[in-house]
Structure 1
Amino acid sequence: MITVRCPITLDTADMARLLNEIISAGGTTAMARPVTGQDLAEWIAHDPDHSAWYVAVDGAERIVGFQWIEPAKYLPREAAEIATFVQIGQTGLGIGSALFTATCKAAKALGYVWINANIRADNEGGLIYYQSRGFQDYRVIEGHKMADGQIVDKRLKRFDL
């Protein structure tokens, strides 16, 4: 059974562990360096009036995924950027769906009109996930230079609330 709730301070170390496994595996996130629980705590606290964070936990209260929305400088005020991370090996179990339900509700409450997903074009799982939620392609960024120097294309997808 998956439960979605807002993260608490004690969650940030497990969130960092989950995210670092994804970063280490490569190919799905733009993040290139490992993160700490303190990094995540700071991100969560950064702009609480314009962002929303959720964790998905299993029956033993283990973090199996998390998602957030926040403003992005390249987006208009009515749009929020989304990021989603699900534990490796746990995709396809409804974790992302449960997170997205909570995130959509929060986005509306925060006054957003649409949500933007900025996805590496080689992240097949991410593309499928956002497509299955109803996101529509609206732009391609070709030759994006990642923090680690790798060059990838990015696909921007939009979900109207």
Structure 2
Amino acid sequence: MITVRPAIALDAASMANLLNAIIDEGGTTALTTQVSGPDLADWMASKYERAAWHVAVDGSEQVVGFQWIASGTDYLPPEAAEIATFVQVGQTGLGIGSKLFDATRKAAKELGYKWINANIRADNEGGLIYYQSRGFQDYGRIEGYELADGQVVDKILKRYDL
């Protein structure tokens, strides 16, 4: 059974392990270098303004997914939150992302956001399908985005109005 709850600092190491497996697999995230538990704990504590972090955990409290929203990007207005979603490799399509988004959508409203922006690699078919299935609509494209490792990808911008 999967449950969703707010993320805490003690989740950071498990979240980092999950994210690093996704980074290693490649093709779905703009992140290209490994992160540590302390990195994620720092992000949760201070990096993002008006943020909400949620984890999906299994019956043994193992993190199988996480999602966050935050403001502070240089290209979004203050009424918009940026979203990021990560589900354990091999566990996509099982409803984890849906449960996470239910909690995130509620948190976004409570934080006063009017809409949520998803910035997705154009070659991330699973991510594009996920956000589309949640009701996000395409509204823009970033062409020729250079990742930290030098790879160049296009990104699709999707919007969810709260």
CA RMSD, Structure 1 to Structure 2 (Å): 1.0
Counterparts of residues 10-159 of structure 1 (less than 5 Å): 10-46=10-46, 50-71=50-71, 72-159=73-160
TM-score, scaled to structure 1: 0.98
Q: 1:29 to 1:48 in 2, by over 3 A?
A: closer
1:79-129 CA-partner distances (Å, limit 9, x unpaired):
000000000000111100000000000000000000000000000000000
Question: Where does structure 1 differ by over 3 angstroms across 4 or more consecutive aligned residues?
Answer: none
Question: Is contact 2:9–2:44 with CA below 8 Å preserved after alignment?
Answer: no
1:23-48 CA-partner distances (Å, limit 9, x unpaired):
00000000010000000000001157
| Unpaired segments ≥5 residues, structure 1 | none
Q: 1:48 to 1:153 in 2, by over 3 A?
A: closer
Q: Distance in 1 between matches of 2:148 and 2:8?
A: 29
Q: Which amino acid aligns with 1:102?
A: A
Deviation at 1:49, TM superposition (A): 5.5
Alignment of 1:6 with 2:6, yes or no, is: yes
**Kindly, what percent of the aligned residue pairs are identical?**
71
Deviation at 1:10, TM superposition (A): 1.6
Q: How many residues align?
A: 161
Q: Which amino acid aligns with 1:115?
A: I
- SS of residue in 1 equivalent to 2:86: strand
Q: Distance in 2 between matches of 1:73 and 1:54?
A: 23
Q: Distance in 2 between matches of 1:23 and 1:37?
A: 15
- SS of residue in 1 equivalent to 2:12: helix
| Unpaired segments ≥5 residues, structure 2 | none
TM-score, scaled to structure 2: 0.97
Q: Which amino acid aligns with 1:140?
A: R
- SS of residue in 2 equivalent to 1:81: strand
- SS of residue in 1 equivalent to 2:140: strand
**Which deviates the most, 3-12 or 46-55?**
46-55
Q: Distance in 2 between matches of 1:73 and 1:93?
A: 34
- SS of residue in 2 equivalent to 1:73: coil
Q: Distance in 2 between matches of 1:139 and 1:131?
A: 14
Q: Which amino acid aligns with 1:40?
A: L
